[in-house]
Chains A and B, each alone.
Chain A
Amino acid sequence: MAAVLDKPRTVAPGRRAAKRRFKRPTVGAVVVYVAAAALAVLWLLPLLWALSTSLKPETEASLGQDIHWIPQDWSLEGYRTLFERGDHLTWMINSTIVSTIVTVLTLVLCVLAAYGFSRFDFPAKNVIFGAIIAGLMVPGQALIIPLFDLVNDLRLSGTYWGLALPQVVAPVMVFILKRFFDAIPRDYEEAAKLDGAGHLRVLVSVIVPLSGPIMAAVGIFTFIGSWNNFLWPLLVATDPSMMTLPVGLGVVSGGYGLFYAQNMAAAVLGALPLLVVFLIFQKQIVNGVAGVGLK
């Protein structure tokens, strides 16, 4: 009995390992690779089409022309007219300012709050934490009417602060950071406290350095979310000089009419900043999304 059971156990691992080493591509694997690659290329086509069009002169880009994926006549005309108009750069700067304010404030406020919830006991702690968790279920879009009124009353309408501040409230980030802080062993802090460091000092010099990846994920997601926010800036920034990139492109550039090369140049430049951020931080972003599902 024992011998019978033993035999396959000792033989199989070796055979399997050998199989793995000399694996030749099967028909199934080839089909999978081809199908996956074809779908991926198909998925990229709209972006490639925008890029290709932006590099054509207006005459070649306009409707009714034959469709060429490679421009017959390479031209930066679209980009040049776009920069002569100037507003694209303004929107890009506005978006950068607003998203930076949102990201920095979110990180500072959420890290402080998460640390407070993770390491201290204080009056009404559970009530406050419960209220913040309940906020996870409140859809921001359903609050636009009273929020707009509030921002008007605070005389922040049409300012960077009016654009940024209402986007800062992110209960989910407090939740994520608190869970991460909870898992950090307290021994590290004890050592720092013995050296005479205060609570804030401990947070900045012990906890924050240990939380690099999670803070990167929170920061990147906040930045992307804020950069791509459309509805709120649409309401608050009615003056073209205060618009963020998505609103400017959607509301003003939509009126460029039939200048397709210019239109697509705007699209390419509009997509570029976050695509670069994505390519640089691909690992953090992928892990961040994965974290949502695995928790």
Chain B
Amino acid sequence: MTVKTEAPAAAPAAVPRPPTAPNPKRRSWTGLWFVLPFAAFYALFLVYPTFLGLFYSFTDKSLTGRPASWVGLDNWAEALGDERAWDALWNTAVFTLYSTPPLVVLAIVLALLVNRARRIGWFLRMAFFAPFVVPVSVVTMIWIWIYQPTGGLLNHYLQLLGLQDPAAPTIWLQGETTAMWSVVITTVWWTLGFNFLLYLAALQTIDPNVYEAASIDGAGWWRQTAHLTLPLLKRTTGLVVVLQLIASLRIFDQMYLMTAGGPNRATEVAIHYIYIAGFEGYRIGYASALSYVLFVLILVVSIVQFRLFSRKEA
């Protein structure tokens, strides 16, 4: 009860603060001219396609160019009952579920390590972040080769360590259960650097006096990390997790290049199926309906992100 009454009382206090108060500006058209070029681009390449896609989802528009006609909710009904679409969404979810924990936890561990090993910090930063700027096709070319069942680097060392029978090498990218993990490992290697830098930056803003006080109290590194550092990284973790979720839901490039959705569609993800429906099946209308399902999913996660961001601003 008391909480509920507090919220509206607080709200009006924020409203009368006009954003332009410190520097009263005359209202004129001048500013619009500066904004107009971007706004025009924005309207043409973002706003318009957003609504165009929604419109197409109610038609049977085809890539072949034959005239489209209105089909109402047919595409949407078909999408909801399309098993392949659900499988693709499921695979996207599985990829997200597998890849997010290592991408968050490893990033923290590396950042903690690098933060303590500052003398070689530049080298560590470079090593962990360098893969992030490498184009996806280069990443997949290298990893496809590393994953080769016979003669590939990974199996070679697994056999050397006695972890694998040379007579029965693991089939990484062509195995229904291993393919997903293989792409996850590659993705972690490729994109971890970004999260790592986010954490490192957060660590370096922590006031050293906090630790000084803790070590005077006799807390060792482990206790300091568990009770001080990790709680202080909570906000960063929220941001990283949400950014990671959005990125994972959009997964396409690595999957397309490494497994092409196979074997047996075991790694066919949402965007890949949209691509197949639209550009291989020529069904623009249906692909638009599928896009909108994904769009709404990502939108929900993005709204969470937006709220995290705006809370930070406050």
For residue A43, which residues in chain B have a CB less than 8 angstroms away from its CB? 127-128, 131, 189
Q: Is the CB of A166 within 8 A of B45?
A: yes
Q: Is the CB of A275 within 8 A of B134?
A: yes
A113 to B39, CA, bound (A): 8
List residues of B (171-190) whose CB comes within 8 Å of A's CBs: 189
A116-B198 contact given A150-B52, A260-B145, A275-B130, CB 8 Å threshold: no
List residues of A (204-255) whose CB comes within 8 Å of B's CBs: 224, 227-228, 230-231, 235, 245-247, 249-250, 253-254
Min Cβ gap B189→A in Å is 7
A290 to B27, CA, bound (A): 36
Judge whether B25 is part of the interface by a CB distance below 8 angstroms.
yes
Min Cβ gap A53→B in Å is 8
Kindly identify which residue among A44, A125, A250 contacts B127, using a CB–CB cutoff of 8 Å.
A44
A99 to B117, CA, bound (A): 36
Min Cβ gap B52→A in Å is 4
Judge whether B271 is part of the interface by a CB distance below 8 angstroms.
yes
Judge whether B263 is part of the interface by a CB distance below 8 angstroms.
no
Q: Is the CB of A112 within 8 A of B125?
A: no
Q: Mark A38-49, 1 if CB is under 8 A from B, else 0.
A: 011101101101
Judge whether A155 is part of the interface by a CB distance below 8 angstroms.
no
Interface range on chain B (Cβ under 8 Å from partner)? 35 or more
A113-B135 contact given A122-B32, A263-B141, CB 8 Å threshold: no
List residues of B (293-314) whose CB comes within 8 Å of A's CBs: 294-295, 298-299, 302-303, 305-306, 309, 312-313
Min Cβ gap B78→A in Å is 16
Min Cβ gap A36→B in Å is 4
A136-B135 contact given A117-B35, A122-B29, CB 8 Å threshold: no
For residue B279, which residues in chain A have a CB less than 8 angstroms away from its CB? 148, 235
Q: Mark A102-129, 1 if CB is under 8 A from B, else 0.
A: 0000001110110111011111110010
Judge whether A286 is part of the interface by a CB distance below 8 angstroms.
yes
Residue of A nearest to B55 (CB): A146
For residue A119, which residues in chain B have a CB less than 8 angstroms away from its CB? 25, 31
Interface range on chain A (Cβ under 8 Å from partner)? 35 or more
The dominant DSSP class at the B interface is helix
Min Cβ gap B294→A in Å is 5
A149-B284 contact given A29-B116, A169-B45, A286-B197, CB 8 Å threshold: yes
A138-B50 contact given A36-B120, A117-B35, A230-B253, CB 8 Å threshold: yes
Judge whether A147 is part of the interface by a CB distance below 8 angstroms.
yes
Q: Is the CB of A123 within 8 A of B29?
A: yes
Residue of A nearest to B246 (CB): A139
Judge whether A93 is part of the interface by a CB distance below 8 angstroms.
no
For residue A277, which residues in chain B have a CB less than 8 angstroms away from its CB? 133
Q: Is the CB of A120 within 8 A of B30?
A: yes
For residue A186, which residues in chain B have a CB less than 8 angstroms away from its CB? 23
Q: Is the CB of B126 within 8 A of A282?
A: yes
For residue B135, which residues in chain A have a CB less than 8 angstroms away from its CB? 227-228, 230, 245-246, 249, 270-271, 274
Q: Is the CB of B53 within 8 A of A116?
A: no
For residue A192, which residues in chain B have a CB less than 8 angstroms away from its CB? none
For residue A263, which residues in chain B have a CB less than 8 angstroms away from its CB? 141, 145
Q: Mark B144-159, 1 if CB is under 8 A from A, else 0.
A: 0110101111001000
Residue of A nearest to B194 (CB): A289
A289-B151 contact given A33-B120, A112-B38, A145-B274, CB 8 Å threshold: no
A168 to B143, CA, bound (A): 31
List residues of B (266-292) whose CB comes within 8 Å of A's CBs: 271, 274-275, 278-279, 284, 287-288, 291-292
Q: Mark B108-142, 1 if CB is under 8 A from A, else 0.
A: 00100110110110111111111101111110111
Q: List 27 A-B contacts (CB under 8 A).
A: A35-B113, A37-B117, A37-B120, A47-B130, A49-B146, A112-B34, A112-B37, A115-B34, A116-B32, A120-B28, A122-B32, A136-B306, A141-B250, A144-B274, A169-B42, A199-B30, A227-B135, A245-B137, A246-B135, A249-B141, A250-B141, A254-B257, A270-B137, A277-B133, A279-B126, A289-B194, A295-B312
Q: Which 7 A-B pairs have the closest CB atoms?
A: A120-B31, A116-B34, A290-B201, A63-B151, A250-B137, A40-B127, A113-B38
Known contacts A32-B113, A37-B120, A146-B50; 11 additional CB pairs below 8 A are A29-B116, A44-B130, A138-B295, A141-B252, A150-B49, A166-B45, A246-B137, A267-B141, A289-B194, A290-B197, A294-B205
